[in-house]
Amino acid sequence: MEPMKSVDIEQKRIEQKYDKGLVASTFIRYAAYIIITFGLLFFLVRYVFPLF
């Protein structure tokens, strides 16, 4: 009969770091870009194009 071997198994858990603040600030930045772009297009269509 073999003696029982005690083996320790090391478990590693890898967690992806997720910064909600970074995601929110990026969303706000691109939302601002889109709003500015549409505002500029609205200005061009409403006030500049009728002059031609």
Q: pLDDT means per 10 residues in the chain (52 residues)?
A: 74 81 94 98 94 82
Please give the pLDDT value at position 40. Answer: 97
Q: State the alpha helices, DSSP H only, in the chain.
A: 20-43
Name the nearest CA neighbour of 25 among 16, 33, 17.
33
pLDDT, position 2: 64
The first and second tokens of residue 27, run together, are 């969303």
State the pLDDT at residue 41: 97
* Three-class SS state of 52: coil
Name the residue type at position 40. L
pLDDT at 45: 95
- Enter the pTM of the model: 0.59
